[in-house]
């Protein structure tokens, strides 16, 4: 199984990320990567992300903004990374 991120603008259109991630082997690895690189991704034009396991959508879109903008699940990137670290 492969875990991948879809990078999107605020209107939901897909965009190329500033950093090209690998395919991750676990959800935790994928979430840790986002927690580490969300600022660079945001600066590069991605405003939200959606996580997939193979072709199945797991959650998202999740905002990369730390200024209180939240994704559909109510958690911003910093909140999601903190949750992943505690799991």
57 SS3 class: strand
Q: Per the structure, how many domains does the chain have?
A: 1
Tell me the pLDDT of the chain averaged across its residues: 84
Asked if the model's pLDDT at residue 66 lies above 90, the reply is no
Give the per-residue pLDDT at 69. Answer: 47
27 pLDDT above the threshold of 50: yes
Domain that holds residue 58: 3-86
> Residue 22: which pLDDT band, with cuts at 50, 70 and 90?
confident
- Contact in structure between 27 and 57 (CB atoms under 8 Å): no
pLDDT at position 34 is: 96
The whole model's pTM is what? 0.75
Closest CA to 24 of 14, 36, 16: 36
Does the structure show a pLDDT above 80 at 30? yes
């Amino acid at each position: 199984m492969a875990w991948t991120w879809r990078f999107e603008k605020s209107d939901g259109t897909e965009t190329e990320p500033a950093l090209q991630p690998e395919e991750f082997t676990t959800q935790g690895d994928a979430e840790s990567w986002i927690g580490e690189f969300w600022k660079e991704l945001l600066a590069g034009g991605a405003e939200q992300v959606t996580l997939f396991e193979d072709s199945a959508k797991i959650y998202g879109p999740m905002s990369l903004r730390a200024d209180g903008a939240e994704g559909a699940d109510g958690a911003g990137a910093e909140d999601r990374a903190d949750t992943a670290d505690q799991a």
